[in-house]
Structure 1
Amino acid sequence: MKKASYKLLLIQPPVQDFYDTPIRLQPLGLAYLKAIVRRELPDFEVTIKDFHHGRGRRPIPLPKELGYLKAYYAYPDKSPFCSFYHYYHFGASFDEIAAEVAAEQPDIVGISSLFSAYSREVIRCAEAIRQVCPATILVGGSHVSAAPENVLRHKCVDFVIRGEGERPLVEFLRAWKDGGDYAEVPNLGLKREGEIVLTPMAANYSIDDLPLPDFSDFPPERYVFERRPLCTIVTSRGCPHHCAFCSVHLTFGATYRRRSNEAILEEIALRYAQGYRVFDFEDDNLTVRTAEMKALCEQLITRFPEGDAQFLAMNGLSYHSLDQELLGLMKRAGFTHLNLSLVTAESGIRRQANRPHSFAQYLEIVRFSALFGFKIVSYHIFGLPDERLESMLDSLAINAELPVLIGASLFYMTPNMPMASSFAEMTEEDIFKARLTAMAHETPYVRRDDLFTLFVTARILDFLKGLRFSTPSISFTDALEAAEQNGGRAALGAVLLRRLFDEKVLYAAVGKRFEAIHRFNAELFFRFWARLHFIGTQNGGLITLMS
């Protein structure tokens, strides 16, 4: 006999790493799933539990696979150039998760597995839940789309969903409710007589047919940016580019789809009425349809009071689709920050990575963005498989002189990304190391010490780029003196830089003592420094260097 109602519990799991991103953690994908199930299957009660954000952190032992990192993350460094030290569990413990899930008494538990490096935490959640709860356990998300068999082989996982999840989840719940004939459920992974079976992929609902994500489990004050309530939005799914280091197509397919401006504005207006004031667009390519984005900005300018609503695109923007007019409209609409994905200035590596981006256009976009007063972060990838060290130094030197902060990303492989086809199949350990902090991917041209030195050098540059002074330019010596006068971490940074230049050694600040960072390659740092004529600060000033 069928039940009158059923309970679906959707979970955002904790993560374990050296650091956590304090924003961009609102589980938007789960909110879309809740909304579609409530519309299509009203006999299902759906609850989202975020076991990651707002659940604290605690140090845990460093996994043995990452033991080599002790030589790099050696000290609890309090300097402005610090890298990492403690390895943490961010979020609720697995025992707490199991207890809370058991108390909910769900029929089905859906767990989000977004990042391959954190798939172990997903399995630990499933194992803990299985010990205390008889619910069916279903896993979906980007990692599942990339490596479904890897997830489904675990005994504690009953089903997986690949690709976009709305239609597959609805069809799965219908089949589950009717007794378990899953042959017609698209995008599903299941076990049949001990064998893994993957059903064919099929199209999702039309993007404009999707209901607005259901945020009813999230109070607005839970997710904040600069102390104001933040919510995430997407205007599109997919990306028309096919960069070799990106695996977004494994989840969203090869077709780019954009929502209508009317639907986007309706969602922003609803969130504004709910108390949100910061709106983060998490598109993989927000501005690719330039004319439509310009029209959206014009409507945002009209609809919302100046300075009241703030717009961000923290997932990054492709400068390929930006121009001066769009930047001006974005600024007037309330965009304050620009995260640009440079990757590399080397044209040959860009071609290999299948990026249709012009470096001349990048320089133009940075110049216009600075004129409009945006706070700009430019993201590099250090360690791409075929890029030489000298090329990375050149790219870093170019951005050192521009009015941008530098977002240093150390290359890592993820399962079935296009670039991965040229390498051996990833092992479980490789998947676990698919994270920036692991510095796992060495090449014939770049070793781990080089990657570490580039990462710390970017932090040194960002320290200098963040200094403020009253004149258009200042000498490096005077900049350090001004930093010392400011006290605190600024003064500490100045002291450490003086010692670096005097002794050719970078020190960590550990309590009241200094400890040499042995893996920092001072010779490489000074080889880079010799390329510079000046440093461009984030607010448009110049720090001039001695020749």
Structure 2
Amino acid sequence: MADISRPLRPIRRVMLLFPPMYDVKLIDTMVVPPMGIACLGAYIRDMVEVSLLDCVAEGYRQAAPVNREVELVGLSADEILARIRACAPDMVGISCIFSGQIACVEQLSRRIRDEIDPDMVIATGGTHPSFLPEQTLTRTAVDYVVLGEGELGLKQIIEAHNSGNRIDNIDGIAFRTENGVHVNPRTTWIEDLDTLPLPARDLLPMETYFSARLPMGFHWRKTRNTPIVSSRGCPFGCPFCSSWRHWGQRFRKRSPENVLAEIEHLKTRYNIQELKWQDDNLTADRNRAKAIFSGMIDRGLVMPWNTPNGIALWTLDEEMLDLMKKSGCFEITLAVESGDPASFEKYVRKPFTLDTAKRIAGLARERGIATVAYFILGFPGETIDQIKNSMRYALDLGVDYLSPFVYTPLPGSDLWQQCVETGLVTDGYSYKDANNFFKPDFDTQLFDIDEVYRLQGRAYLTNLAKLPFRNPAEFLAWYSRRLIFRPVFLRDFFQNLWKFRLQVFINRRVVRTADRKGRQ
């Protein structure tokens, strides 16, 4: 491991990898270009040789069962180690944007250290290690945790190794010392996002993403689609969310000209025919958003696009939706989170009302824009009656697709801290088993989580059953694409429905509480 008291190993070659995913068997695993390592690779490629390894994309057909409900999707550890040996890097960076990936960071870092090179420089970053740096450095074999926005910290670590500069002065990193873990909180951020190079998509297997047809949110119109990010951060501190803290508790944005130049590049270089906006708040700056959409129209860049990560619902009106539709918008995701007024006020606290959400859903429907709605069930402290109220509202919202997620404690969020303080999340909490949004291994103090799963399943299936009647064109278009490109889709759907029928219809979980405790 790196010892900051001795001369540091020079770094000439870096491999950045996106590790496999622990995912539930109920759904496919999304195969999406990992924009985090693509941005980092682009930022450091002028100073070192860089390679990127997306373990999910290159092994998405491989799924190793973990238990009855969860599987590990992606390249095996042996395959990953073989790729690292072939690259022979001086440094390996392991992304950890989802808490479930921390188990992969633990396994891979130790095996790299034990089986490839005991002096390998290993770093990790992402939301989980950023908010739990001490725990990450204690439980893994990594040398560095890069906190929050990763470009500056990663670059300065490499510079220190190559020039002899001091590591302990670098802003926004954590590392071990003789006295334990030392954390330098992040205080500096990239103020002008236009200065960043375009993500290094050329180092990723782009054709694999097109052929997999499993983009973020799963919905698509053109197979040659890719994510794009035009801003970072959010000015609103939703209690359940950690993203706003990860990006500096504010909203930073690229200029419309810079964003349009990337769209032109994507169209020319990769023949991209559809965009997936990954911004937390694409339309938060209304004038900027309008300039982007108008620029797409004026420059011949109109193409299908959607917002699978959500959109700033409170910024939408007839004028904005008309412009969005004209520039190619085919779907928006409304992250309402809760339809119960008391829960919405206490656990969500977004700057809109439930009546506003219903009105925007109707305006989008009038313009032929498909709608998805995100809801969270089972906030800590929420009652079962509040969850029922929320699902009644969700079904009355009239959206095309309903995604009711079960509450998952996200490290760094206010509610996660509350769960820690009340003992719902302990040092032994299994993020691998718990931190997915469909079947987290998490109990609350006010109700049996089995009842939440039943409400989740019933709401989802009820809304789905209404789709052919509410929006027949959308139903036929989406499911015909699924059947054409994945003929086994219906078989898998009904097999999963039958497998989890007891949970959905009779309120019996497939995996018993005793089984869950035995896995911890």
Q: TM-score normalised to the size of structure 2?
A: 0.83
Deviations 1:99-133 (A, max 9, x none): 11011110101110111122101221212222332
Match for 1:442: what amino acid?
D
Task: Give the counterpart of 1:252 among 239, 247, 250.
Answer: 247
Task: Give the counterpart of 1:93 among 76, 84, 88.
Answer: 76
Q: How does 1:273-292 map to 2 (within 5 A)?
A: 273-274=268-269, 275-292=271-288
Greater mean alpha carbon deviation, residues 4-13 or residues 28-37: 4-13
How far has the Cα of 1:522 moved from its partner?
Answer: 5.1
Task: Give the counterpart of 1:397 among 392, 395, 414.
Answer: 392
Distance 1:387 1:49 in 2: 41
Query: What is the match of residue 531 of structure 1?
Result: none
Determine if the alignment matches structure 1 residue 113 to structure 2 residue 96: yes
Query: What is the match of residue 428 of structure 1?
Result: 428
Query: What is the match of residue 406 of structure 1?
Result: 402
Contact 2:275 2:306 in 1 (8 A): yes
Task: Give the counterpart of 2:15 among 9, 33, 39.
Answer: 9
Task: Give the counterpart of 1:518 among 470, 480, 502.
Answer: 502
Distance 1:102 1:260 in 2: 41
Q: How does 1:325-344 map to 2 (within 5 A)?
A: 325-344=319-338
Match for 1:273: what amino acid?
T
Contact 2:11 2:90 in 1 (8 A): no
Query: What is the match of residue 71 of structure 1?
Result: none
Deviations 1:5-47 (A, max 9, x none): 81011001111222465446211111111111124x2xx1011
Greater mean alpha carbon deviation, residues 451-460 or residues 163-172: 451-460
Query: What is the match of residue 48 of structure 1?
Result: 52
Query: What is the match of residue 543 of structure 1?
Result: none
Determine if the alignment matches structure 1 residue 153 to structure 2 residue 147: no
SS state of the match for residue 262, structure 1? Answer: helix
Distance 1:421 1:219, change over 3 A: closer
Distance 1:392 1:106, change over 3 A: same
How far has the Cα of 1:261 moved from its partner?
Answer: 0.4
Deviations 1:343-379 (A, max 9, x none): 1122222221232221111111011000011111111
SS state of the match for residue 222, structure 1? Answer: helix
Distance 1:194 1:92, change over 3 A: farther
Query: What is the match of residue 530 of structure 1?
Result: none
Q: How many residues align?
A: 468
Distance 1:304 1:99, change over 3 A: same
Contact 1:31 1:214 in 2 (8 A): yes
Deviations 1:446-473 (A, max 9, x none): 322211111210232133123259999x
Match for 1:312: what amino acid?
N
Distance 1:189 1:305, change over 3 A: closer
Distance 2:240 2:150 in 1: 23
How far has the Cα of 1:440 moved from its partner?
Answer: 3.0
Contact 1:383 1:441 in 2 (8 A): no
How far has the Cα of 1:169 moved from its partner?
Answer: 1.0
SS state of the match for residue 429, structure 1? Answer: coil
SS state of the match for residue 288, structure 1? Answer: coil
5+ unaligned residues in a row in structure 1: which ranges?
Answer: 64-84, 473-487, 494-507, 525-547
Task: Give the counterpart of 1:212 among 198, 214, 220.
Answer: 198
Task: Give the counterpart of 2:173 among 185, 188, 193.
Answer: 188
- Cα RMSD of the aligned pairs, angstroms, is 3.0
Task: Give the counterpart of 1:35 among 32, 42, 46.
Answer: 42
Deviations 1:424-453 (A, max 9, x none): 353232433122243433334432221111
SS state of the match for residue 225, structure 2? Answer: strand
SS state of the match for residue 429, structure 2? Answer: helix
Amino-acid identity (%): 25
Q: How does 1:261-300 map to 2 (within 5 A)?
A: 261-274=256-269, 275-300=271-296
Q: How does 1:343-362 map to 2 (within 5 A)?
A: 343-353=337-347, 354-362=349-357
Task: Give the counterpart of 1:201 among 163, 173, 186.
Answer: 186
Distance 1:329 1:451 in 2: 39
Structure having the larger proportion of residues in helix: 2
SS state of the match for residue 232, structure 1? Answer: strand
Query: What is the match of residue 415 of structure 2?
Result: 419
Contact 1:102 1:132 in 2 (8 A): no
How far has the Cα of 1:54 moved from its partner?
Answer: 3.5
Contact 2:11 2:161 in 1 (8 A): no
How far has the Cα of 1:87 moved from its partner?
Answer: 2.8
Greater mean alpha carbon deviation, residues 445-454 or residues 90-99: 445-454
Q: TM-score normalised to the size of structure 1?
A: 0.79
Distance 1:300 1:133, change over 3 A: same
Contact 2:147 2:172 in 1 (8 A): yes
How far has the Cα of 1:299 moved from its partner?
Answer: 1.1
Query: What is the match of residue 513 of structure 2?
Result: none
Contact 2:198 2:262 in 1 (8 A): yes
Query: What is the match of residue 462 of structure 1?
Result: 463
SS state of the match for residue 194, structure 2? Answer: helix
Deviations 1:365-422 (A, max 9, x none): 0110000111111111111123322222223223323431211110011223111232
Distance 1:522 1:424 in 2: 32
Deviations 1:207-264 (A, max 9, x none): 2221111111124322235452222211111101110000013321112111100110
Query: What is the match of residue 178 of structure 1?
Result: 163
Query: What is the match of residue 441 of structure 2?
Result: 440
Match for 2:404: what amino acid?
A
